[in-house]
């Protein structure tokens, strides 16, 4: 089956939908990225469509959604708490009259990352599919020696309110006052191979979320799955979805607590076994291949 995925040339969407692409191909499908719905409306072959709600604003888009064998439409909230609900990053760009049309399309299945759909009140039934681990692109590259005691790889990721940078700095400052060998790489554009090696060959990985994720607790970032899928030992700040999906993950509510948790985990006598159990759980339940299979079953 052909699978058409909306092209995301930049930001997190690029990495997420590349993960989906590799998963669809792993399952035997042919994937193409599209930029405009005009590319789809005259197709004669059967296809699946992965679209996003903010691009649905004309009848050609509706025609493409109907034409697909199945459409998997990622939807944003139609309302979101303040202050985030004032920014377009956090609310759907789909006009109300098109939401009503989408809700009538039987072969269109709606999905989102979040656990609670109370902010999606204008949409029909929505399915929760959290982010996942790209098990095709990332592989076990563990070597004989530990590169770092603790690692974190990412960017400042300003979501429109620049909340995360200050949260990250507070945590990194606390780690700076320890004797731990820290592999913290922010906006360093590491190669894929180097990122893979660092996460695999660190004692513990840490994860830090946006402020809205901490307060609402409805979704987690991709780093959760990558850290557990490659390293297996994760200390995360407190986010409810992380606790729901991975009840064994060490949770910290303060920078000081995160440092303590990392040190405690590094001292575990069963650390290797603990890591392998977590890696096994991710590989069996939380890869993009799993998510693709969930989509097909809708």
- The pTM for the full model equals 0.96
Does domain 148-285 fall under CATH 3.30.990.10? My reply is no
Residue 53, helix vs strand vs coil: helix
The vertex-239 CA angle with 209 and 78, nearest 5°, equals 80
pLDDT at 133 over 80: yes
Q: What is the pLDDT of residues 48-83, one digit of tens each?
A: 999 999 999 999 999 999 999 999 999 999 999 999
Residue 298's pLDDT is what?
95
Strands 182-186 and 148-154: parallel
Task: Tell me the mean pLDDT in the region 14-39.
Answer: 97
pLDDT at 9 over 90: no
Residue 111 phi/psi, 5-degree rounding, is -150, 160
Task: Tell me the mean pLDDT in the region 106-120.
Answer: 97
pLDDT at 12 over 90: no
Q: Give the separation between CA 159 and CA 32, rounded to whole angstroms.
A: 28
Fold (topology level) of 2-129: Rossmann fold (3.40.50)
Domain ranges of the chain: 2-129, 148-285
Q: Give the separation between CA 170 and CA 266, rounded to whole angstroms.
A: 21
Which two structure tokens, joined as six digits, stand for 247? 């009840």
**By the 8 A CB rule, do 50 and 4 touch?**
yes
Q: What is the pLDDT of residues 259-297, one digit of tens each?
A: 999 999 999 999 999 999 999 999 999 999 999 999 999
Phi-psi region of 157 (alpha: psi -120 to 50; beta: other; left: phi over 0): left
- Percent of the chain's residues with pLDDT above 70: 100
Q: Give the separation between CA 195 and CA 5, rounded to whole angstroms.
A: 26
Report residue 125's pLDDT band, with 50, 70 and 90 as the boundaries.
very high
| Mean pLDDT over the full length of the chain | 96
Q: How many CA atoms lie within 13 A of 59 on its CB side?
A: 0
Q: What is the pLDDT of residues 141-196, one digit of tens each?
A: 999 999 999 999 999 988 889 999 999 999 999 999 999 999 999 999 999 999 99
pLDDT at 88 over 90: yes
Q: Give the separation between CA 282 and CA 274, rounded to whole angstroms.
A: 13
Residue 248's pLDDT is what?
87
Residues 6+ apart with CB under 8 A from 220: 113, 130, 131, 209, 213, 239, 241, 242, 245
Q: Give the separation between CA 191 and CA 214, rounded to whole angstroms.
A: 29
Residue 58's pLDDT is what?
96
- Percent of the chain's residues with pLDDT above 90: 95
């Amino acid at each position: 089956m052909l699978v058409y995925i909306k092209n995301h040339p930049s930001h997190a969407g690029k990495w997420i939908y590349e993960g989906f692409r590799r998963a669809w191909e792993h399952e035997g499908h042919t994937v193409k990225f599209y930029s405009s719905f005009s590319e789809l409306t005259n197709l004669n072959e059967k296809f699946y469509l992965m679209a996003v709600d903010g691009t649905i604003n004309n009848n050609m888009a509706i025609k493409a959604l109907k034409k697909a064998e199945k459409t998997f439409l990622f939807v944003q909230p139609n309302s979101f708490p303040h202050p985030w609900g004032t920014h377009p990053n956090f609310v759907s760009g789909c006009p109300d009259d098109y939401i009503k049309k989408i809700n009538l399309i039987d072969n269109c299945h709606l999905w989102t990352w979040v656990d609670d759909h109370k902010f999606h009140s204008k949409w029909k039934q929505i399915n929760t599919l959290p982010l996942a681990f790209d098990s095709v692109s990332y592989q076990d590259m563990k070597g004989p020696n530990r590169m770092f005691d603790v690692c974190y790889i990412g960017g400042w990721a300003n979501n429109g309110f620049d909340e995360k940078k200050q949260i990250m700095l507070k945590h990194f400052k606390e780690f700076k006052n320890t004797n731990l060998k820290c592999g913290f790489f922010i906006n360093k554009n590491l190669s894929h191979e180097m990122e893979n090696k660092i996460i695999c060959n660190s004692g513990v990985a840490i994860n830090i979320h946006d402020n809205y994720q901490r307060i609402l607790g409805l979704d987690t970032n991709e780093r959760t799955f990558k850290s557990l899928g490659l390293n297996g030992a994760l200390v995360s700040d407190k986010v409810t979805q992380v606790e729901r999906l991975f009840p064994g993950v060490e949770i910290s509510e303060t920078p000081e607590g995160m440092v303590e948790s990392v040190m405690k985990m590094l001292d575990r006598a069963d650390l290797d076994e603990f890591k392998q159990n977590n890696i096994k759980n991710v590989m069996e339940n939380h890869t993009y291949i799993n998510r693709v299979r969930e989509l097909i079953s809708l």
